[in-house]
Amino acid sequence: AKDYELRQYETAKWVSTVVRGEPQKEAMRQGFWKLFHYIQGKNDKEMKIDMTVPVTCLVKSGCTDFKVSFFVPFEQQDCPPQPSDSDVFVEERKAAAIFVRSFGGFASPEKYAEEAESLARTLRNRGQPFHEDFYYTAGYDSPFKLFNRHNEVWYFKK
């Protein structure tokens, strides 16, 4: 469809952390730095790992806990280093069909929420079943990239 796409993601490992009781923007900041320290060597192998995209954030309706995640690079998928920080963990996300809406610019929590609501409305109107109680935000760019930015919101297909 012109305003969203349906992607099939394979099972993959992500390194994640949950930030509780903070506004989403602050949770993203704190979560990003915890994960950044992990890829900079704060892991059991003291291994530096390449930064990957997207950086995702799990947003649940009415909840102030946010799970921030980095995709584990393909080279480390089989055996990622274990985090040294007890707040950071490696998780395996199962294969899934995901509805994706892309947009540009600098994304704020408000902009992500607006785009997620727009995608949800479109999916409902088209009779597409999806998990409505949560969505993921996905950011692909460094904060220093000023133009042609790429952001997404994801809903999982039922």
Q: How far apart are CA 32 and CA 35, in angstroms?
A: 5
Question: 130: which residues sit within 8 A by CB, 6+ positions away?
Answer: 99, 120, 123, 155, 156, 157, 158
Domain harbouring 61, CATH code: 3.20.80.10
Assign residue 20 a region: left if phi > 0, alpha if psi is -120 to 50, beta otherwise? beta
136 has a pLDDT exceeding 80: yes
* Residue 93: predicted pLDDT: 98
Per-residue DSSP letters for 55-80?
EEEEEETT--EEEEEEEPPGGGSSSP
Residue with tokens 């999806």: 130
Closest to 69 in 3D by CA, of 6, 107, 9, 12:
12
* Residue 140: predicted pLDDT: 97
Determine the distance from the C-alpha atom of residue 101 to the mean position of all C-alpha atoms in its chain, rounded to a whole number: 13
Closest to 111 in 3D by CA, of 79, 139, 75:
139
Q: Over range 108-133, report the average pLDDT.
A: 97
Q: How far apart are CA 102 and CA 116, in angstroms?
A: 10
Query: Into how many domains does the chain fold?
Result: 1
Q: Model confidence over 67-118: pLDDT tens digits? A: 999 999 999 999 999 999 999 999 999 999 999 999 999 999 999 999 999 9
What pTM did the predictor assign?
Answer: 0.96
* Residue 2: predicted pLDDT: 84
Q: How far apart are CA 126 and CA 117, in angstroms?
A: 14
User: What residues make up the domain containing 73?
Assistant: 5-156
